[in-house]
């Protein structure tokens, strides 16, 4: 059903739904953006006249391919690979690769669409893309992950390059996978093109703070929002979902800034540690042993492990959903609000359902959408690209200072755009409007391509 937008927006929305059937995550992301940019289009009818919306919602290129590989028993396995190169008006395509059984074209498309606006908000010269595979690296040997990664890159490499498309890691793609992927790219191209992949090891072209950037950046954005209300993080309790890269480093930065994160989770359940998460133990279990979050409670006797259930039932002042899309629904939101929630910052991509977001906003809770709050990861990837291009390396503290400055700028852009377009304090409108305006201006200037 078409929404009550202008006829031009209704047409674009209806055509996008028709062309992309069976892709609910993409439909959700599309609707959020269209609702947010109405005031921008009202002020800039030239965007409609130039077909900016029609072109923006259609990826420039969608790549889907077979990935055959041998497991350790010699059995041939076949997965499916994806890369959606959505928009390159601001620069080369940029966005992560996700290896997870849930990956399909619709999820990759939603992630790539979100990436357009996130990347634009950073102020860096990067376009939007995303990719991945339905391959699950969990429980696989290093040799199996290597064989899969090499097969995956043997097809995708022809579509990549430091001036074309620069992937990075995402869920299921960490230092191990990035190493194998980059190695195969180097083997196939006979080029040590460092800038074509970000999130690399520090010893071979990686950037300081890239590992920490998404989690750190999410906390920096939350700090900026609180500062607008003359408030801060010190002493506040926080629930963090997930226990991967984003969650771990959100927990680390929260602790450094005086907050008390008390939860972490994985697909099996969640832990509650009222004294505050033991970060070194969490890193040992998840980053070294690749274990389960239940292992934490077995070693930390004051912590509780809850199998299944919802991490959002834990009473806290701050919520940082850092696991995956649509993990926090309306019931979760109502539970958090009942327990005194004051702020939500999305560390994952679109982790809150639309009705949960509406509940937070109606309750005057500070809400930071992922395309703004978790932009620190891709922003630091752009810094890594700069270091690779100039053969430089910046130290940790200067890199963190650059990240903090970028997140300050992302917050300012979203906050000011919300004011400009008549929705003060609405970071969803602000982030989408600011990102869209930058991309639309570039597309208008470059003609109908």
Token readout for 280 is 């070194």
Contact 278, 255 (CB under 8 A): no
- Rounded Cα distance between 31 and 401, Å, is 35
Round the CA-based radius of gyration of the chain to a whole number and report it: 21
Query: How far from 430 is each of 188, 360, 400, 422, CA to CA, in Å?
Result: 43, 16, 25, 10
Q: Is residue 130 annotated as a catalytic residue, yes or no? A: yes
Contact 306, 272 (CB under 8 A): yes
Q: Give the other-Cβ count within 10 Å of 304's Cβ.
A: 13
Token readout for 135 is 């391959």
Q: Give the other-Cβ count within 10 Å of 20's Cβ.
A: 19
DSSP structure string for 306-368: EESS-GGGS--SEEE--S-TT-B-HHHHHHHHHTT--EEE--SSS-B-HHHHHHHHHTT-EEE
Query: How far from 205 is each of 3, 13, 90, 179, CA to CA, in Å?
Result: 48, 42, 24, 11
- With residue 111 as reference, give the H or E element that holds it: helix 105-122
- Rounded Cα distance between 128 and 179, Å, is 23
**Options 130, 286, 402, 437, the catalytic residue:** 130
Contact 444, 47 (CB under 8 A): yes
b/e code 52-86 from CB counts within 10 Å (16+ = b): bbebbbebbeebebebebeeeeeeeeebebbbbbb
Which residues does the annotation mark as catalytic?
130
């Amino acid at each position: 059903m078409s929404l009550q937008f202008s006829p031009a927006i209704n047409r674009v929305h209806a055509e996008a739904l028709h062309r992309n059937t069976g892709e609910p995550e993409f439909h959700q992301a599309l609707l959020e953006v269209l609702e947010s940019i109405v005031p921008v289009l009202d002020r800039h009818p030239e965007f409609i006249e130039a077909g900016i919306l029609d072109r923006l919602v259609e990826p420039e290129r969608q790549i889907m391919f077979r990935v055959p590989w041998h497991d350790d028993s010699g059995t041939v396995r076949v997965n499916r690979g994806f890369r959606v190169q959505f928009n390159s008006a601001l620069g080369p395509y940029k966005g992560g690769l996700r290896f997870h059984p849930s990956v399909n074209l619709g999820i990759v498309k939603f992630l790539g669409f979100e990436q357009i606006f996130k990347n634009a908000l950073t102020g860096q010269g990067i376009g939007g893309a995303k990719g991945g595979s339905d391959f699950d690296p969990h429980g696989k040997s290093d040799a199996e992950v290597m064989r899969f990664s090499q097969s995956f890159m043997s097809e995708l490499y022809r579509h990549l390059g430091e001036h074309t498309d620069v992937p990075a890691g995402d869920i299921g793609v960490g230092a191990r996978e990035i190493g194998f992927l980059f190695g195969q790219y180097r083997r196939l191209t006979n080029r040590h093109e460092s800038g074509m992949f970000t999130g690399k090891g520090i010893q071979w072209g990686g950037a300081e703070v890239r590992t920490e950037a998404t989690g750190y950046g999410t906390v920096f954005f939350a700090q900026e929002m609180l500062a607008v209300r003359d408030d801060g993080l010190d002493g506040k309790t926080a629930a963090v979902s997930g226990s991967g890269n984003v969650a771990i480093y959100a927990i680390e930065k929260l602790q450094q800034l005086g907050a008390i994160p008390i939860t972490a989770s994985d697909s099996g359940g969640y832990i509650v540690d009222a004294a505050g998460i033991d970060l070194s133990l969490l890193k040992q279990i998840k980053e070294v042993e690749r274990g389960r979050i239940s292992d934490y409670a077995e070693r930390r006797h004051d912590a509780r492990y809850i199998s299944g259930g919802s991490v959002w039932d834990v009473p806290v002042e701050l919520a940082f959903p850092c696991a995956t899309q649509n993990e926090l629904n309306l019931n979760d939101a109502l539970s958090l609000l009942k327990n005194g929630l004051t702020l939500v910052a999305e560390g994952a991509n679109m982790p809150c359902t639309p009705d949960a977001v509406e509940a937070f906003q109606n309750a005057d809770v500070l809400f930071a959408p992922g395309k703004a709050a978790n932009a620190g990861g891709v922003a630091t990837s752009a810094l890594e690209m700069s270091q690779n291009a100039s053969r430089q390396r910046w130290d940790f503290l200067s890199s963190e200072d650059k990240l903090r400055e970028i997140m300050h700028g992302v917050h300012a852009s979203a906050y000011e755009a919300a004011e400009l377009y008549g929705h003060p304090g609405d970071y969803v409108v602000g982030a989408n409007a600011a990102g869209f305006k930058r991309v639309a201006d570039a597309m208008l200037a470059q003609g109908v391509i």
